[in-house]
Structure 1
């Protein structure tokens, strides 16, 4: 069931990310994923939050709901991460794609607050790319892209969604770290 669901997600992402030309080449976007893309691949961290897997309308049918009870001193005090499972080479074009929606907005706000990042997975958590996003009550796929600044062994690179910017409830759907290779034209990648 999960494999079939991920295949459907991959077809949708192939058309979104790489366009019809990629899909016609017989490739699968999941072949380019260097992380576990299902919501069970998220690891939630930080005090002041509760989390649970819920049934959802997002691609894949499940989401991770993170309820942040109070804003943290730093945006990174509460978040969720997904680590790489495959190596990434220096110079490769990376695309982060994360499904997000706000279940409960911060008080008097029109949208939630989050930062999506690719970063090193050990202290000092080196930043590869960070993008602030403002999830609403509707599911949306948010993107960030960068060029790998070094070789990354499996488990040393990760996607993170920082959530401690406000008291809010954010639903996280599947997360994708795509390695598009060294010669991919970044101008063709989706943006927010």
Structure 2
């Protein structure tokens, strides 16, 4: 699809949108509702923002913005540059608000994706830090889905998903980008927000996943191994998604459990399964993980794992707990399905709150084993 991004004072008609290359050209002055309807038809779920606009409100005295127009910017040829001149005490001290266009009911799955890169950063690793959340613009500014992305130096597509635990009226609903954690300059481009889908497809922004050598020939991959496709719960502790060049697929998420949680699943990742499971299927779950620190007897982090439905009462099977050392390793757990689950209805849940620990999780591969394996 070729799509104009509208931004005050900048002529951006007919800029390329790499996500959906097959749709016809839309002139800048075309009816916005018709444009959005066409985009919506190309997306999973329901579009609930206007991806043709980068006219976002900002907050923060030390935040400077500038419009960037360059046909080499993926997904529209335009972006906004956000310069944080001095880090704040909190990430939300400098932020941008992308307005949403629909009410959000509690229980709705909201997925967003955006193009971004870092051009300057005072962080030790030279990368930017952006926390993204869906937020109600009313005191005390409740929200959900808080995810911290580590933004690298090259343009890349970043994606997150979460289930609303509050309801937000359209006039107060925003996707908020919090940038005050670092002195940095981050550029954010075309952004999509959808309701009722767990990912945004067709973005041409990530490699096709291949199995690690340990799993080749063992069966069929039935999970989405990209950490950007996982759902997260952080009732106890925190998590942060970042680039990680030393592990398959180049991304990881770090979980910090400051104390033993009331329930191990109070800090968790849910890895979506893409195919149906029949009772009796043999599954192998392979988790790339490493311990950063752990207050356990052997200094190794504890990770719980189970296969379960993604809706209450979260029935499942295969409960197990394993430990990992300080170096990246691929821990493999086998289980037999004791119940059938429809495609798209199940996840592999990783429970990270069972100890005081900091643990990195990379891709999770779930393989439906071939007979005889």
Q: What's the TM-score, normalizing by structure 1?
A: 0.78
Alignment deviations for residues 82-120 of structure 1 (CA, whole Å, 9 cap, x no partner): 121122333221102122110112254331111111121
Give the Cα–Cα distance (whole angstroms) in 1 for the partners of residues 49 and 57 of structure 2: 12
Offset of residue 190 of structure 1: 6.3
Q: Higher strand fraction: Structure 1 or Structure 2?
A: 2
Separation (CA, whole Å) in 2 of partners of 1:53 and 1:30: 29
Structure-2 residue corresponding to 1:2: 4
1:125 and 2:141 aligned: yes
Confirm or deny that 1:42 pairs with 2:56. yes
Write out aligned runs for 1:24-43 (5 A): 27-29=41-43, 32-43=46-57
* Aligned residue number for residue 23 of structure 1: none
User: Which residue pairs with 1:112 in the alignment?
Assistant: 128
C-alpha displacement at 1:72, in angstroms?
0.7
Change (3 A) 1:6 1:177: farther
Maintained 8 Å contact 2:45/2:195: no
Structure 2 spans left out of the alignment, 5+ residues: 6-12, 22-39, 200-222, 229-373
Cα distance change on mapping 1:37 and 1:31 into 2, 3 Å: farther
Q: CA deviation at 1:153?
A: 2.1
Q: Please give the root-mean-square deviation of Cα atoms over the aligned residues, in Å.
A: 2.8
Of 145, 165, 186, the residue aligned with 2:161 is: 145
Further displaced range: 86-95 or 52-61: 86-95
- Is residue 79 of structure 2 the alignment partner of residue 79 of structure 1? no
State the Cα distance separating 1:160 from its structure 2 match: 0.9
Q: Which residue of 2 aligns with 1:62?
A: 78
Contact 1:39–1:62, Cα closer than 8 Å, also in 2: no
The answer for the alignment partner of 1:11 in structure 2 is: 20
* Shift in Å, 1:63: 0.4
Q: Is the 8 A contact 2:130 2:177 kept in 1?
A: yes
Distance 1:77 1:70 in 2: 10
Residue 78 of structure 1 and its aligned partner are, at CA, apart by 0.3
Aligned partners of 1:156, 1:176: CA distance in 2, in Å? 18
- Structure number with greater CO (CA < 8 Å, separation at least 6) is 1
* Matched length: 176
Q: What is the Cα deviation at residue 10 of structure 1? A: 4.9
Larger-gyration structure (1/2): 2
| In 2: Cα distance, 1:127 partner to 1:102 partner | 25
Tell me: CA distance 1:175–1:79, structure 2 relative to 1, closer, same or farther (3 Å): same
CA contact (8 A) 1:68 1:163 kept: yes
Task: Report the TM-score, using the length of structure 2 for normalisation.
Answer: 0.43
Point out where structure 1 has 5 or more consecutive residues left out of the alignment: 13-25
Determine which structure has the larger helix proportion and give its number: 1
